Amino acid sequence: MKATLYACLLTVGTAALLAQQPVDPKELLAKARELIVDRDEHLPNYVCVQTVSRYYFKPLHPRHPPAPCSQITALHNGNASPVKLYASDRLRFQLKVSRGMEIGTWASASQFSDRSIFELTGGGAYGTGTLGAFIGDIFGIGTYEFMGEDVRDSFVAYGYSVPVGASHYQVKSGSDWNTTGYSGVFWIDSKSKELRRLLVDAKEMPPETGGCEAATSVDYSDVKVGLGKFLLPLRSTMRMVMADGSETHSTAVYSGWREYHGEAVIRFDGGSTTAGVEAPAPAAAPFPAALSLSLALTSPIDTQTAAAGDIVTAKLRKPLRFGKRLLAPEGAMVEARIVQMQHWLAKPQYFKICLTLEKLETHGVATPLYAKLAHEAAPSTIHLPPAGQPDRVAVLVFPTDKSRYIVPAGYQTNWITVKPPLEERK
């Protein structure tokens, strides 16, 4: 019995000593990079849903002229926050990723277009790169700094720096893109050899961008896509500090991963479809202009969960007629899309929901719908649709000092049909 007990204690003690042995940081990093690069090269084309929540802050004490970026970032990275929240919004995109290249459109859209995803964001900070570009840059430079090991979770930290010449990190200023270098830290799981977390910090942004610093944090995990498991982001956060002292904080959550087989029709030239993909049946011709539409929501819009990119449905409250001809009966379904979901927190507080009508379905036929909101009187306060959106986008404003507002089912709006834009006229 004593011999057996001694043997057991010896085994446990030996295991404990082995567990405490420090890892070889160079060997671990070499194996991790080989695994990461190999899995990245074999990653199939895939589609996922990205939900982005953005929070906008303005300086408590604006400075004129603004302080240098070195002073601004030092102040903003301190304990006392020099900003206050004044607005937030939420967006939901569908992303297609191929070899680290991202193509985006609204969530639940039937096809990808050649329109840049940045045109859908309505302005404000939005970042790409978490789905491939950062990994390609960071694990291609070849020089790193061992930062230490966290024994509690078996994570080993490494520092890195990507110079401008090797960087694919671009910041938009107007219509131009400016490349910037960046640095940061990444954490490798010493047991699985997998990348688990990444920090990207761009501290020397080109002056023409109006930015001082953009810091991004990404959490990675093994995600099943098709028949395999691949390293993909689950969540990322970005904090951008501008030269005027304002900040934007954004959080992106990724879900709904699936391998892309060409189910959706992807158009890059406005007309052609990808090879081997059958184009959808042609829709009916648009309705004539100057027709009146009276709509009622079929389900509520909850500002706590709804996002730009979501589809909402309504039904006709009255038959749609052109002269004596019936175009659509009462109750016909109309599909609209939210293109902005904003909460304004500065006084007067309100929620702003921007909608655009997309189609009307009747007897199994979808008719594209171009219409603008009918205003009975000119409003005292003018609310414009987000930048890049057409003027037919309806802006619905709901004043409230609550943190949540629900637009009820049955909510009524009145519209007037307009001519389709020139590029969509046949």
Structural domain contains residue 344: yes
pLDDT of residue 423: 61
Residue 425, pLDDT above cutoff 60: no
Residue 289, pLDDT above cutoff 90: yes
Same domain flag for 323 and 419: yes
294 band by pLDDT with thresholds 50, 70 and 90: very high
Same domain flag for 139 and 41: yes
Structural domain contains residue 271: no
Higher-scoring residue by pLDDT: 296, 1:
296
Parallel, antiparallel, or unpaired for β 265-266 and 111-112? parallel
Beta strands in 60-144 (DSSP E): 83-98, 101-106, 111-112
Same domain flag for 220 and 335: no
Quote the pTM value: 0.85
Residue range of the domain that includes 236: 25-266
pLDDT of residue 318: 96
Question: Which tens digit of pLDDT belongs to each residue from 166-207?
Answer: 988 888 776 788 888 999 999 999 999 999 999 999 988 888
Same domain flag for 302 and 241: no
Same domain flag for 143 and 191: yes
Same domain flag for 358 and 243: no
DSSP state of 280: P
Structural domain contains residue 186: yes
Structural domain contains residue 248: yes
Maximal C-alpha separation, the chain: 102
Mean pLDDT of 384-389: 85
Domain CATH code at residue 412:
2.40.128
Return the half-sphere exposure (C-beta side, CA atoms, 13 A cut-off) of residue 199: 13
Same domain flag for 190 and 304: no
Question: Which tens digit of pLDDT belongs to each residue from 104-119?
Answer: 899 888 787 777 788 8
Same domain flag for 181 and 319: no
Structural domain contains residue 396: yes
Same domain flag for 93 and 217: yes
Highest mean pLDDT among 252-261, 361-370, 406-415: 406-415
Look at the chain and report how many structural domains it folds into: 2
Mean pLDDT of 263-282: 40
Same domain flag for 109 and 156: yes
Please report the DSSP string for 195-224 in residue order. EEEEEEEE-S--GGGTEEEEEEEEEEEEEE
Least confident of 161-170, 336-345, 395-404: 161-170
CA-nearest of 261, 299, 286, 262 to 360 is 286
Last residue of a domain, one of 266, 301, 333: 266
Domain CATH code at residue 228:
2.50.20
Scored b (16 or more CB within 10 A) or e, 350-380 reads bbbbbbbbbbbbbeeebbebbbbbeeeeeee
Structural domain contains residue 4: no
Mean pLDDT of 275-291: 66
pLDDT of residue 377: 66
Structural domain contains residue 282: no
